């Protein structure tokens, strides 16, 4: 009994892969090479980089914090700290940026701004108090000086038996003139005024003149608070000697 011949089984050529398998050395469709993300797989997030604004906020915060303790400089450091605070807040919201510097700069700037405001108020109040105390002290000294009595002396000396003497005083905004005729010498006029006063200025004047029969000397002198401010001498009939001074001469 004979059997029908079977067809020979197909054989793949040498070096070819079986049907349905990818060639050797190649990856099936949809798969990525080894070590690389495949199609449809999630991409890893990008690495965070430095934060320039955060660094700037940190530097400004440090400088502002130092300036907060220096009188009058803290007015500027307060504004500078506000700038650092704004930069630090902006740096916190930047994507893919490190937050450490931004947080440190924001905190330091905020502390520096608060300290600058507090210390500026404290220093200003202290300075104003010192100025006010100095003004009160100066006013008290001025008041004490204004209440001090000062002695003024007009003197006329010589050999005249009938001299003519005129003296004028301006003090505390008031002036007065007096005259003595046929006055025998020596002549002295002494009075007291208040130092300072409304206008804090005084002036003094005295003039003496010989008579027709007087041929000798005639002299005048003004003494204020024990100090001779002016003196003069003249000789002969009708000769006159005049002296003038002011409270400003006491400081010379």
The per-residue pLDDT for range 55-96, each reduced to its tens digit, is 888 899 899 989 888 888 888 888 999 999 999 899 888 887
Closest-CA residue to 155 (of 249, 245, 238): 245
Which pair of tokens denotes residue 65? 């914090």
Label residue 242 exposed, middle or buried (CB < 10 Å: 0-12, 13-18, 19+): middle
Which pair of tokens denotes residue 210? 């010989």
Closest-CA residue to 81 (of 47, 51, 48, 117): 117
- State residue 223's pLDDT score: 93
- State residue 31's pLDDT score: 54
Q: Collect the ranges in the chain with pLDDT lower than 70.
A: 1-50, 141-147, 195-200, 251-252
- State residue 102's pLDDT score: 86
- State residue 37's pLDDT score: 53
Model pTM score: 0.43
């Amino acid at each position: 009994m004979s059997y029908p011949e079977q067809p020979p089984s197909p054989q793949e050529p040498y070096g070819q892969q079986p049907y349905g398998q990818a060639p050797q050395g190649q990856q099936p469709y949809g798969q990525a090479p080894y070590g690389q993300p495949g199609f449809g797989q999630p991409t890893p997030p990008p690495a965070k980089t430095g934060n320039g604004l955060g660094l700037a906020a940190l530097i400004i915060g440090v400088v502002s914090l130092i300036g907060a303790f220096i009188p009058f400089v803290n007015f500027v450091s307060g504004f500078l700290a506000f700038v650092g605070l704004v930069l630090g807040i902006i740096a916190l919201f930047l994507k893919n940026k490190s937050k450490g510097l931004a947080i440190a700069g924001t905190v330091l700037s905020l502390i520096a701004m608060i300290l600058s405001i507090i210390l500026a108020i404290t220093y200003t109040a202290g300075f104003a108090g010192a100025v006010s105390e100095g003004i009160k002290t100066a006013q008290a000294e001025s008041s004490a000086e204004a209440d001090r009595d000062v002695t003024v002396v007009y003197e006329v000396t010589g050999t005249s038996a009938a001299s003519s003497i005129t003296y004028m005083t301006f003090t505390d905004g008031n002036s007065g003139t007096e005259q003595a005729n046929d006055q025998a010498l020596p002549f002295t006029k002494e009075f007291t005024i208040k130092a300072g006063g409304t206008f804090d200025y005084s002036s003094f004047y005295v003039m003496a003149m010989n008579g027709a029969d007087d041929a000798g000397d005639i002299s005048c002198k003004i003494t204020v608070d024990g100090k001779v401010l002016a003196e003069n001498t003249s000789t002969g009939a009708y000769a006159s000697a005049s002296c003038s001074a002011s409270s400003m001469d006491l400081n010379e």
